[in-house]
Amino acid sequence: MATITAETNVGTKKSGKGANHGVVSEVSAYFHIKPGHTEALRGAIDRFQAALHQAPTELIQRFGLQDMRHVIFDGGTRLNWATSFETDWEPYIDDSVRMFGIEKWHDWFQHCEECPDNFLQLSGKPLRDFIQSGQVQAAGFFKTISDKTIPELRKAMRVEKALDQVLEQPEASTLLQHPALRPLLEEAAD
């Protein structure tokens, strides 16, 4: 039977907001690994990370995902899930479930004591509640390139590639002498 779920939350006083630096926000959550489940969790994390590594660029962009790590610590009894997004994470929780599939999330969450038994029958809210139950806002968060989104960084990479192509031209140094092109000329030396 379909279950009535609760609402996506775009951000209220009760939301589990992470720390921000520029356009990036972080989520760090800590869970207890079920006794005897550590190796199974490692396998599930491998699968989840492999899915991320193999996901099309387009899908990762739709997640707004900058990075994600799973850290098993405390003698294999605890899990730290840490990730950062180009947006706040909470408004997109349903999106991440629908686009990636709740089964993939459940594959590793199921090895945590805090995971509800009926997780697969529920929608994005339990994922949000689950994360918030283990979430601790970072006391400090630093991102090296904090003011640029992935699309902007990809654009910068395309521009660099285009400049490289220009610089390969024999007449490049002559063409770049025009005053309007001085900023490019200044980047041409290395």
Partner 1 sequence: MTTTASEIAREQDSTATGTTLELHDLQSGILHPRPSPYVGSYVVYRVDAAHDGRRFIGRLGRWIASAADWSADAKAWLTATLTYQGLRALGVPQTSLDSFPEAFRDGMAARAELLGDTGDSAPANWQPPLGTPEVHVALAAIAPDASRVSVLVGEIEKSRGDLPGVAEIWRQDCYALPTEREAFGFKDGISHPAIEGSGIPGSNPQEQPFKAGEFVLGYLNEMGVLPPMPSPDVLGRNGTYVVFRKLHQDVAAFRQYLRANARDAADEELLAAKFVGRWRSGAPLSLSPDRDDPALGADATRNNDFLYQDDDPRGLKCPIGSHIRRMNPRDAVVTGDVRLHRMIRRGTNYGPQMPIGVMEDDGADRGLCFVFVGASLTRQFEFVQTQWVNDGRAFGAPAEKDPLIGAGGCPFSIPTRPIRRRLQGLPRFVTTRGGEYCFAPSLSALRWLSELDS
Least distance between partner 1 and beta carbon 39 (Å): 32
CA-to-CA distance for 96 and 172, rounded, in angstroms? 46
CA-to-CA distance for 114 and 107, rounded, in angstroms? 14
- Closest to partner 1 by CB, 48 vs 100, is 100
- Closest to partner 1 by CB, 6 vs 71, is 6
12 binds partner 1 (CB under 8 A): yes
Task: Yes or no: say if 122 and 103 are a contact pair by the CB < 8 Å rule.
Answer: no
151: number of Cβ within 10 Å: 10
CA-to-CA distance for 182 and 179, rounded, in angstroms? 5
CA-to-CA distance for 86 and 148, rounded, in angstroms? 9
Least distance between partner 1 and beta carbon 171 (Å): 19
Output the six-digit token pair for 70. Answer: 């799973």
Span between the terminal Cα atoms of the chain, in Å: 63
23 binds partner 1 (CB under 8 A): yes
- Closest to partner 1 by CB, 74 vs 152, is 152
Place of tokens 């002498």: 177
38 binds partner 1 (CB under 8 A): no
Which one, of 114, 45, 129, 51, lies nearest residue 81 by Cα? Answer: 45
- Closest to partner 1 by CB, 124 vs 134, is 124
Which one, of 116, 180, 129, lies nearest residue 15 by Cα? Answer: 129
Determine the size of the site formed for partner 1 (CB under 8 A). 37
Site track 71-90 with partner 1 (rule: CB under 8 A), x = hit: ---------------xx---
Residues between 98 and 137 with contacts to partner 1, criterion CB under 8 A = 98-99, 122-124
Q: Please select the residue that binds partner 1; options are 39, 147, 160, 187, rule is CB under 8 A.
A: 147
Interacting residues with partner 1 (CB under 8 A): 2-12, 22-23, 58, 61-64, 86-87, 91-92, 94-95, 97-99, 122-124, 147-152, 155
